[in-house]
Structure 1
Amino acid sequence: MVLSKLRHANAASKLGADEKNDLATGLQATLGASLAGLRPLNGGTLGIIFSGTLDGCERCFKTHAVPSGQVTLRREHAFLQQISNNRTDASLFSVAERDSQRTWLQMNLLSSCNDLTPATIRRLVFDYEAKLPGKIGFALVPAEDNIHLLLDKSEQSLALLSDHDLISAGVASKARHRLTHLRAISGEFILQLCHGDLGPANILCDDFGPVAIDWEDAFWGIAGYDYLYWLTFFSNRRWLTPDSVGHTPWGRPAEVALMVMILLLKCMLSVRDGSYLGNKISFDQRLMEVIALD
């Protein structure tokens, strides 16, 4: 799940226009005439992003919105080098800033993808899972950033939603049953590095197909987690069919329980930032669409 949002909600939005302009000015001054057409792009929770043409090549430039973002920026660079550097050409550089140095990540500017299918996402996840490091990854991602933490948080989310009557008693009972099942089998989980936020905005394309970017939420999950996470996005609801589950080592009941866990966390985050007030469907409906797959 999106650990950065659980820890740093709205951090990026706290940077004002003047501060972003200062970042752009510093970047332009550092790269000089070789950089042209610098313009802002939508950033993530911890990142501020620009695009521009560097030495004739379209590039993306990303820096941190909060101090902790510097660590995740270096983490993202390490992941990109590990799984897709022949396509992203990612590198880090520093810009002098008062009494410190600001870290920037630059990479090839990729494009939005055309309609992605579950089969395409499964191939993407399978391919990068095979390239991710094992225990050496603890140097990149703390051991405590793991799926057990997300399960704890999802149980808290369920309690919050129930206490505020944001889900019905019947749906709460069904969701609790799935979390109980997940808790019962969690001792069998073999932890591995996962992207953690594999949504439509974090999958871009080049001439060779999709590339997973923005690894700031990487954590110790389990095989297939990222694919199930992708299925929980509102824009992917049409793919919530029996054919879309049963493709991980964990089996349909566990997959449904994992998606319920993810949705509960997303529901809680939307309550925290107030965005749930504009929801097109209720939390009950969202949860039952997934529960019905079991």
Structure 2
Amino acid sequence: MLTKLRHFSTDRPLAGPPVLDWPSVERLFGDRLGGRRPVNGGTLGIGFLAELDGNDVFLKTHLTSDGRQTLCREAAFLQAAYGGSFAVDYREAVDEHFGKRGWLVMPALQPLAITPAPDTIHSMVEMFGRVQWSVTAAPNDDLALLLREAWAGLQRLNDMTLVQKDVAAAVFKRLTLLEDRLSDFPRIVCHGDLGPKNILSWNGAPIAIDWEDALWGIEGYDFLYWLTFMDNQRHCSRSTLGRSPWGIDVELSILVLIVLLKCYLSILTGDHHFHRTSINQRLTDIISL
């Protein structure tokens, strides 16, 4: 979410598919690469399925001029988390229209056979905590930064009269609680965007992809983030909480923080015009847990 907040708050242009210099990629692999076809999805990146040495692979590149470093770090996160299961490669090609462009190369993963249960996601998040990370999030990409963005988002919602006063007051209380407790939370590496579209399968095991939003979060953050997706709302209840050391009150405050940031991002992108649930109702649903 952080990379999208940064991008859409500054209106930086995308270097989209029309100017993608594919021959520069083919030169990286010669005649070993073939069968290219684009993959739907992605906001600040674009992906392709292809065949490399007869094996199905996934290739991803960035659409912003400053995305190369982020993609390189994403490849390093994948390698650290799953390098024992499959190979992750990062290469750079000189794009005629774009300059130096990074490419992530990894096996083509499969959709999950079944929708994961909360226990499955919690186990995955616990695994992140056991990884000996050879790469870390950017030093200032942390919960404090999310809180600063959240305060800006709350102000924007108020200015646009998209939230009722009682809802805004409840959100204010939750953000204040987190700010007051900030020094109590040890920082750990978190995925930062653990949603249904970012969980695929390799040999039947769930794999978290798209680590471009990795950040210094706190224990339990990724699990709570997963709960905020519409597909997972049926699991979002007090009975599902309490899995972190911080207690339900802090966990509810994290949920409010995440949903507020998602609402703020929807305003920056204009997507809130197309949502069936209003921003006020979305926040109310979380506050009332």
Same fold (TM over 0.5): yes
Partner of residue 116, structure 1: 116
Q: Given that residues 12 and 65 in structure 1 are in contact (C-alpha distance below 8 angstroms), is that contact kept between their aligned partners in structure 2?
A: no
CA RMSD, aligned part only?
2.0
Q: Given that residues 60 and 105 in structure 2 are in contact (C-alpha distance below 8 angstroms), is that contact kept between their aligned partners in structure 1?
A: yes
Deviation, 1:281, is 1.2
Say whether residues 1:187 and 2:183 are aligned partners: yes
Question: Secondary structure at the residue paired with 2:92?
Answer: strand
Query: Which residue, 116, 138, 142 being the options, matches 1:142?
Result: 138
Question: Secondary structure at the residue paired with 1:106?
Answer: strand
Deviation, 1:132, is 4.4
Q: Given that residues 41 and 51 in structure 1 are in contact (C-alpha distance below 8 angstroms), is that contact kept between their aligned partners in structure 2?
A: yes
TM-score with structure 2 setting the length: 0.92
Partner of residue 6, structure 1: 5
Distance 1:132 1:255, change over 3 A: farther
CA distance in 1 between partners of 2:180 and 2:88 (Å): 41
Partner of residue 280, structure 1: 276
Q: Given that residues 128 and 190 in structure 2 are in contact (C-alpha distance below 8 angstroms), is that contact kept between their aligned partners in structure 1?
A: no
Partner of residue 107, structure 1: 106
Q: Given that residues 150 and 257 in structure 2 are in contact (C-alpha distance below 8 angstroms), is that contact kept between their aligned partners in structure 1?
A: yes
Deviation track 1:105-139 (CA, whole Å, cap 9, x = no partner) reads 10011012221111111001101221043xx74xx
Query: Which residue, 22, 30, 33 being the options, matches 2:31?
Result: 33
Deviation, 1:12, is 9.4
CA distance in 2 between partners of 1:168 and 1:88 (Å): 49
Question: Secondary structure at the residue paired with 2:74?
Answer: helix
Q: Given that residues 80 and 88 in structure 1 are in contact (C-alpha distance below 8 angstroms), is that contact kept between their aligned partners in structure 2?
A: no
Say whether residues 1:156 and 2:152 are aligned partners: yes
CA distance in 2 between partners of 1:290 and 1:132 (Å): 34
Unaligned runs of 5+ in 1: none
Question: Secondary structure at the residue paired with 2:206?
Answer: strand
Say whether residues 1:79 and 2:89 are aligned partners: no
Distance 1:19 1:13, change over 3 A: same
Query: Which residue, 153, 164, 171 being the options, matches 1:168?
Result: 164
Query: Which residue, 69, 86, 89 being the options, matches 1:88?
Result: 86
Deviation, 1:289, is 1.9
Given residue 123 of structure 1, which amino acid in structure 2 is its aligned partner? S
Q: Given that residues 75 and 88 in structure 2 are in contact (C-alpha distance below 8 angstroms), is that contact kept between their aligned partners in structure 1?
A: yes
- Larger mean Cα displacement after TM superposition, 254-263 or 182-191: 182-191
Deviation, 1:148, is 0.5
Q: Given that residues 47 and 62 in structure 1 are in contact (C-alpha distance below 8 angstroms), is that contact kept between their aligned partners in structure 2?
A: yes
CA distance in 1 between partners of 2:246 and 2:42 (Å): 30
Matches within 5 A, 1:229-244: 229-244=225-240
CA distance in 2 between partners of 1:145 and 1:72 (Å): 12
CA distance in 2 between partners of 1:273 and 1:97 (Å): 28
Question: Secondary structure at the residue paired with 1:80?
Answer: helix
Q: Given that residues 15 and 65 in structure 2 are in contact (C-alpha distance below 8 angstroms), is that contact kept between their aligned partners in structure 1?
A: no
Given residue 152 of structure 1, which amino acid in structure 2 is its aligned partner? R
Question: Secondary structure at the residue paired with 2:243?
Answer: coil
CA distance in 1 between partners of 2:27 and 2:69 (Å): 24
**Across the two proteins, how many residue pairs are aligned to each other?**
286
CA distance in 1 between partners of 2:17 and 2:226 (Å): 32
- Larger mean Cα displacement after TM superposition, 204-213 or 37-46: 37-46
- Larger mean Cα displacement after TM superposition, 119-128 or 93-102: 93-102
Deviation, 1:234, is 1.8
Given residue 15 of structure 1, which amino acid in structure 2 is its aligned partner? A
Say whether residues 1:51 and 2:15 are aligned partners: no
Query: Which residue, 193, 212, 215 being the options, matches 1:219?
Result: 215
Deviation, 1:15, is 3.2
Deviation, 1:28, is 2.8
Given residue 120 of structure 2, which amino acid in structure 1 is its aligned partner? T
- Larger mean Cα displacement after TM superposition, 71-80 or 6-15: 6-15
Given residue 75 of structure 1, which amino acid in structure 2 is its aligned partner? R
Matches within 5 A, 1:196-215: 196-215=192-211
CA distance in 1 between partners of 2:154 and 2:99 (Å): 43
Work out the percentage of aligned pairs sharing the same amino acid: 39
CA distance in 2 between partners of 1:274 and 1:259 (Å): 22
Question: Secondary structure at the residue paired with 2:167?
Answer: helix
Question: Secondary structure at the residue paired with 2:84?
Answer: helix
Deviation, 1:149, is 0.8
Partner of residue 129, structure 2: 129
Deviation track 1:119-178 (CA, whole Å, cap 9, x = no partner) reads 111001101221043xx74xx422111101101111121111112110111111111111
